[in-house]
């Protein structure tokens, strides 16, 4: 990778992080979206789950990606017994905030209601530790921390520039380096998290029962059957077919209309 390519990549990550920091404040300024969200919360509190779903869905259809909206929408779908939709929106919330304990618990609860149960393929402990590390904080939190630390480092460097005491200059210089390093570390982790979700494209099965094929064709050999709510990893697309992998490592082909991508 050339120096110019590295610079462009860092610049793109910084722009993304700044956008993520600003986005919650921009979203709060949209009175219509906030009104719909509050309306959905009120309907949910009154056990009017279908009405709450309609209100939350309008917020989502308006282009907003929010952990709170996705999580509440998942809860509303769960209350109506639509487990596949509940899992879809819990997973969307998890993607935005992978370290959230409430989302993890609700995901486990919803998954316990699905027909298909899979034993996950063993993962090397260092890989498992690394994934837990980069997914410990949400991308939005990483963005805020990186911006704050870089701004703090800039301020300390200014103190170093104008300090009259040698001891203050030395202390401020090394402190600024440490703070700057932490800010860059948060950017690095944010980049790795974004890469992780980009390389782990997943979907939820929405058909009551669907037969997985050995090739992207209806006439191909039947491999196994999946039911609604099953989570699969997307490996590749071939016209109207998707090659998938299950948590236990089994692979096959499914019609794209039978799943919804997370």
Q: What is the DSSP letter of 122?
A: P
Higher pLDDT, 5 or 181: 181
Bridge partners (DSSP) listed for residue 241: 238, 255
Mean pLDDT, the chain, integer: 85
Which residue among 111, 136, 151 closes a domain? 111
The CATH number of residue 234's host domain is 2.30.30.40
On whether residue 105 sits in a domain, the answer given is: yes
In the chain, how many domains are there?
A: 3
30-46 residue pLDDT tens = 678 888 999 999 999 99
Do 100 and 19 lie in one domain? The reply is yes
Same domain, 22 and 80: yes
Please, which pLDDT band fits residue 6 given cuts at 50, 70 and 90?
very low
Tell me: do 35 and 84 sit in the same domain.
Answer: yes
Q: Which residues contact 186 (CB under 8 A, 6 or more apart)?
A: 142, 145, 146, 149
Q: Are residues 11 and 69 in the same domain?
A: yes
Same domain? 241 vs 147: no
Judgement on whether residues 41 and 67 belong to the same structural domain of the protein: yes
Checking if the pLDDT of 254 tops 90, the result is yes
Could you say which DSSP state residue 113 is in? T
Do 73 and 58 lie in one domain? The reply is yes
Domain membership of residue 120 (yes or no) is no
pLDDT of residue 17: 52
Residue 150 lies in a domain: yes
Residue 98 contacts residue 139 (beta carbons within 8 Å)? no
Does a structural domain hold residue 51?
Answer: yes
The 10s digit of each residue's pLDDT in 189-242 is: 988 888 888 778 999 999 889 999 999 999 999 999 999 999 999 999 988 999
Q: How far apart are CA 150 and CA 165, in angstroms?
A: 24
Last residue of a domain, one of 159, 175, 199: 199
The reported pLDDT for the residue numbered 12 is 54
pLDDT bracket for residue 74 (50, 70, 90): very high
H or E segment and range at residue 84: helix 83-96
Regarding whether 97 and 18 lie in a shared domain, the answer is yes
Planar angle of CA 80, 85, 86, nearest 5 degrees: 70
Percentage above 70 pLDDT, the chain: 87
Helix (H) / strand (E) containing 252: strand 251-255
Give the pLDDT score at 7. Answer: 44
> How big is the chain by its Cα radius of gyration, in Å?
23
Q: In this predicted structure, what is the pLDDT of residue 13?
A: 53
Q: Residue 45: give the domain boundaries.
A: 3-111
Q: Which residues of 179-188 are buried (b: 16+ CB within 10 A; e: fewer)?
A: bbebbeebbe
Among the candidates 77, 111, 145, a domain finishes at 111
Summarize the confidence of residues 41-52 as an average pLDDT: 94
Q: Do 148 and 102 fall within a single domain?
A: no
Predicted local confidence at residue 31, as pLDDT: 73
- 118 in any annotated domain: no
Q: Is 119 within a domain?
A: no
The fraction of the chain above a pLDDT of 90, given in percent, is 50
Please indicate, yes or no, whether residues 150 and 208 belong to a single structural domain of this protein: no
Average pLDDT over residues 136-156: 87
Say which CATH number the domain at 23 has: 1.25.40.10
Give the pLDDT of residue 16.
53
- Residue 15's pLDDT band (boundaries 50, 70, 90)? low
In the structure encoding, which two tokens stand for residue 261, read together?
């991508």
Q: What is the pLDDT of residue 4?
A: 45
**In a shared domain, residues 12 and 107:** yes
SS3 (DSSP) at 212:
strand
Confidence at 121, pLDDT banded by 50, 70, 90: low
């Amino acid at each position: 990778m050339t120096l110019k390519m590295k610079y462009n990549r860092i610049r793109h990550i910084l722009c993304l992080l700044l956008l993520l920091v600003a986005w919650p404040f921009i979203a709060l300024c949209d009175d219509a979206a906030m009104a719909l969200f509050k309306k959905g919360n009120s309907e949910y509190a009154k056990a009017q789950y279908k009405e709450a779903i309609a209100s939350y869905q309008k917020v989502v259809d308006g282009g907003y990606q929010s952990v709170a909206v996705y999580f509440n929408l998942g809860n509303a779908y769960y209350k109506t017994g639509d487990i596949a939709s509940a899992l879809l929106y819990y997973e969307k919330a998890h993607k935005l905030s992978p370290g959230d304990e409430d989302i993890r618990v609700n995901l486990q609860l919803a998954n316990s209601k699905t027909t298909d149960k899979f034993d996950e393929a063993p993962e090397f402990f260092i890989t498992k530790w690394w994934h837990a590390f980069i997914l410990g904080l949400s991308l939005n939190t990483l963005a805020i921390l990186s911006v704050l630390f870089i701004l703090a480092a800039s301020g300390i460097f200014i103190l170093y520039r104008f300090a009259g005491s040698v001891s203050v200059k030395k202390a401020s210089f090394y402190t600024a380096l440490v703070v700057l390093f932490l800010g860059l570390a948060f950017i690095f982790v944010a980049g790795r998290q974004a890469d992780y979700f980009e390389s782990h494209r997943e979907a939820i099965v929405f058909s009551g029962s669907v037969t997985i094929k050995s090739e992207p064709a209806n006439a191909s050999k039947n491999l196994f059957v999946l039911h609604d709510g099953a989570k699969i990893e997307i490996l590749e697309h071939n016209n109207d077919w998707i090659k998938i992998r299950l948590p236990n490592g089994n692979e096959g082909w499914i019609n794209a209309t039978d799943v919804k991508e997370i």
